[in-house]
Structures are given as C-alpha cells and as structure tokens.
C-alpha cells in the first residue's frame, strides 16, 4: 500500500483546482459544482469553500447519484442503493463542473452526464477529479486533475476524506501479481 496524497497534498490540489476552475471561465458567476456521490460530493463542497475563500463568490453546489444511470445493473449481482440527487438550481446555460474523487474507466462520468442533461441544458459540462488513474473505456478526459497516477487495472485507489472517513488520504493498493488483465471491464463506482 502506497500513500499517493497526504492531507497537505489534498489541500493544495483542491486549492489549485479551485483556481483553475475560475481561471478557465474568467468569471465565476455562471459556474456550478455538482459532486458525484459518494465522495465527489465531499470534494465539490471543498472546492466551493476554496472558491469562496479566494474569490468571495458562492458557487451553487449540487450532489448527483448516478445509480439509476449505471450500465451494469445485471452484472453487479445485487440491487444497488439509490441515494438522493440534490440539484436545487437550474442547470440551463450554466457551466457545470462535475466533481468526482477518482477518474478510472469513465463509465461513472458517462452516467453522470446522462443524469445531468435530464435536469436541463448546461452551457458546458467540465470535469474535475482528485486522481486520474487511467484505463479509460470511454472517450472521456478530465479538465482539472489533482494528480495523475499510473496504475494497473486491478489496483485499487482509495480516497479518504475527513468528512466521511475521519482522515484525508489517497492510497494505492496494488493488486497481487498476476491478478486480472487490462480491459477487465470493471466499473469504479
């Protein structure tokens, strides 16, 4: 097990991403943050706090549950639990920044984009993630990345946040040698 990011690294990455998000659009008004449950919503709340601190602007914050948009209901073998989506602002004509902890196959982001457009027509959808671990199965890339980490498909990247896990840390758990193969089609949700 390797620690990829410690608490200070996470803090700096969030501060940088918050700056990038505002810098990219020039004007923070018209941006909204939507975190993907469960941990993307924690990260999105921290990004909102960072933008408030640096820019004095309160970005609208939402939380998205993508369970009903997954493409693997038959494969996971048990009934997935649906959590509430909370998007209390109109997404029409806004720049919506989707926020997730780890970008892996891209299937979660595909599902999140499908879910988001059911709420309206954003001007643009962007993607911010704390860790990009590669192995995309769909043509999706992140606009803002905390850290790029080379992994093998069967490795496990675990993100811990104080709000849910009691500590801030990202760790890489290596798969046992010989286990798994590229393109095994797993979904990180």
Minimum Å gap between C-beta 31 and other proteins is 21
Is residue 80 near other proteins by the rule CB under 8 A? yes
Strands 169-173 and 2-5, sheet pairing: antiparallel
- Token pair listed for 96: 């919506």
List the end-to-end C-alpha distance of the chain, in Å, as a whole number: 21
Q: Which among 14-22, 43-51, 83-91, 151-159 is the span making contact with other proteins, rule CB under 8 A?
A: 83-91
- Token pair listed for 178: 């010989």
Residue 132 in 3-state DSSP? strand
- Token pair listed for 183: 């393109």
Distance CA 75, CA 73 (A): 6
Rank residues 65 and 155 by Cβ distance to other proteins and give the closer one. 65
Distance CA 74, CA 115 (A): 19
Binding mask 29-68 for other proteins (x = CB under 8 A): ------------------------------------x-xx
Minimum Å gap between C-beta 86 and other proteins is 8
Strands 169-173 and 156-160, sheet pairing: antiparallel
Is residue 176 near other proteins by the rule CB under 8 A? no
Q: Out of 3, 7, 76, 173, point to the residue binding other proteins (CB under 8 A).
A: 76
Total interface residues for other proteins by CB under 8 A: 22
Q: Give the footprint of other proteins on residues 85-124 (CB under 8 A).
A: 85-86, 114-115, 118-120
The DSSP output letter for 69 is: G
Minimum Å gap between C-beta 161 and other proteins is 22
Q: Out of 70, 147, 152, 154, point to the residue binding other proteins (CB under 8 A).
A: 70
Q: Which residues contact 91 (CB under 8 A, 6 or more apart)?
A: 32, 34, 116, 119, 120, 121, 122
Binding residues vs other proteins (CB under 8 A): 65, 67-70, 73, 76-86, 114-115, 118-120
């Amino acid at each position: 097990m390797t620690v990829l990011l410690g608490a200070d690294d996470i803090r700096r990455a969030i501060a940088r991403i918050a700056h990038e998000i505002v810098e990219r659009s020039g004007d923070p008004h018209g941006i909204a943050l939507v975190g993907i449950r469960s941990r993307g919503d924690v990260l999105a709340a921290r990004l909102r706090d960072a933008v408030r601190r640096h820019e004095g602007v309160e970005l609208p914050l939402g939380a998205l549950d993508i369970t009903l948009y997954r493409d693997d209901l038959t494969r996971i073998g048990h009934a997935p639990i649906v959590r509430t989506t909370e998007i209390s602002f109109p997404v029409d004509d806004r720049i919506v920044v989707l926020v997730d902890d780890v970008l892996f196959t891209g299937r979660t982001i595909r599902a999140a984009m499908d879910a988001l457009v059911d709420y309206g027509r954003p001007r643009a959808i962007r993607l911010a993630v704390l860790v990009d671990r590669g192995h995309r199965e769909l043509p999706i890339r992140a606009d803002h990345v905390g850290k790029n980490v080379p992994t093998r498909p069967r490795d496990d990247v675990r993100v811990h946040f104080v709000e849910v896990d009691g500590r801030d840390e990202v760790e890489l758990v290596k798969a046992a040698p010989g286990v798994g193969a590229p393109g095994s089609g797993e979904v990180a949700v």
